[in-house]
């Protein structure tokens, strides 16, 4: 059994269930498009395969409980492409497509899937089950009004997104 499956099993054994999965692992090592095959495999594994494996491992529990929120962080290179990041962009583009498919297929079980990217200028882009909401600065609000201008790190972004997508203060979630 692989590491993502073991992580999911351990979390389920300890907590009984996982309501919110935040896929936030990955890395943006600049690689040229003609990078060696092993580098492509490494980048695809880190930036896409682990997201798929962990999501796949937790979906049965979410479906059984008729509730789940899957939030995947993806770099903006997946949306717009970036010079020197073709390998990572391809993997993260897979995350975006996978997220949309999960949202469509499992929404009927009250399991939602959303992807979040942060642009180079600091805007957060929330792809909420296929819809796109661009948020100015680092604030997220249902009405689109700016809730405040604050600088946040990845953990802060996760907390804002969890609150926005679930209507709950993030207390227990698996990242």
Annotate the chain with three-state secondary structure. CCHHHHHHHHHHHHHCCCCEEEECCCCCCCECCCCCHHHHHHHHHHHHHHHHHHHHHHHHHHHHHCCEEEEEECCCHHHHCCCCEHHHHHHHHHHHHHHHHHHHHHHHHCEEEEEEEECCCCCEEEEECCEEEEECCCCCCCCCCCCCCCCCCHHHHHHHHHHHHHCCCCCCCEC
Q: What is the pLDDT along the chain (175 residues), one digit of tens a residue?
A: 588 899 999 989 999 999 989 888 776 678 888 889 998 999 899 889 999 999 999 999 999 999 999 988 887 777 777 788 888 888 888 998 999 899 999 999 999 898 887 666 666 565 544 444 434 333 332 223 233 323 334 455 556 555 665 565 544 444 4
């Amino acid at each position: 059994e692989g590491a993502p499956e073991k992580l999911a099993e351990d979390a389920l054994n300890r907590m009984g269930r996982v309501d919110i999965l935040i896929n936030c692992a990955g890395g943006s090592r600049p690689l040229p498009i003609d990078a060696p095959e092993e580098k492509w495999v490494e980048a695809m594994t880190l930036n896409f395969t682990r997201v798929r494996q962990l999501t796949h491992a937790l979906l049965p529990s979410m479906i059984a409980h008729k509730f789940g929120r899957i939030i995947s962080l993806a770099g903006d290179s997946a949306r717009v492409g970036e010079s020197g990041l073709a390998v990572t962009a391809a993997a993260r583009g897979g995350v975006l497509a996978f997220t949309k498919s999960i949202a469509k297929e499992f929404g009927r079980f009250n399991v939602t899937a959303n992807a979040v990217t942060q642009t180079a200028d600091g805007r957060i882009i929330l792809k909420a089950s296929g819809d796109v909401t661009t948020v100015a600065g680092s604030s997220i609000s249902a009405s689109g009004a700016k809730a405040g201008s604050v600088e946040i790190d990845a953990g802060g972004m996760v907390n804002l997104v969890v609150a926005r997508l679930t209507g709950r203060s993030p207390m227990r979630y698996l990242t």
